Amino acid sequence: MIVSTAAAITSIAIAKVTSLEALPYSAPIEYSPPVLKGVSFTINGKAHTLEMDTRTTLLDTLREHLNMTGTKKGCDHGQCGACTVLVNGRRINSCLSLALQHEGDTITTIEGLGTPEKLHPMQAAFIEHDGYQCGYCTPGQICSAVAVLEEIKAGIPSHVTTNITGQMQVTNMELRERMSGNICRCGAYSNIAEAIAEVAGQST
């Protein structure tokens, strides 16, 4: 019985191989070389002109081509905010943006906000309030936080803003809503909110 089962399996396997071999011949796939295009922008005060594969994201340009690894890749799908940078003063997810879209732009990354000797006030506040644990999300959190305070100052409303005509307030709810695109897997949210509030001159 065992012998006949084994024989049956073998004959099925042979039949499969035979049917695969009988498939019509298909020509090898031909790959085209990547399309390159020039782009110029300023990053942290320094002008760069690059010849880029048109498919390259701004995030990969920073990390892989300019060796600026301060900006982090978390999800690479616009879900976590780890890759947040400032473009012409506004925050964006650099993983969702192609480098070629930034011709002539002024880009600021975490490396351009401050230096270890001269920290940006937001960087100093994150340290003072323990606004991080592993630190992976922190560059994106800090870039985002800097932009959030500018958005509030400019009177740009958020989903939780109740009065859109008067002076906008830096409330805990406003900060948490506006920072909701920046995920922290370590759960340092309360300390992050305190750090931002301190820079804004308020307490949470």
Q: Which of 58, 184, 195, 196 binds ligand FES (CB under 6 A)?
A: 184
- Cβ 98 vs Cβ 58: under 8 Å: yes
Residue 145 lies near ligand FES (rule: CB under 6 A):
no
Near ligand FES in 93-112, by CB under 6 A: 93, 95
Contact (CB, 8 A) for 151 and 200: no
Helices (H), the chain: 2-21, 58-60, 110-113, 121-128, 138-153, 172-178, 189-200
Select the span of 4-12, 17-25, 60-68, 79-87 touching ligand FES (CB under 6 A): 79-87
Rounded least distance, CB 156 to ligand FES, Å: 21
Among 136, 151, 180, 190, binds ligand FES (CB under 6 A): 136
Given candidates 39, 68, 83, 199, which one binds ligand FES under the rule CB under 6 A? 83
Q: Which residues of 16-40 are buried (b: 16+ CB within 10 A; e: fewer)?
A: eeeeeeeeeeeeeeeeeeeeeeebe
- Which residues of the shown chain bind ligand FES in the complex (CB under 6 A)? 73-76, 78-83, 93, 95, 132-138, 184-186, 188
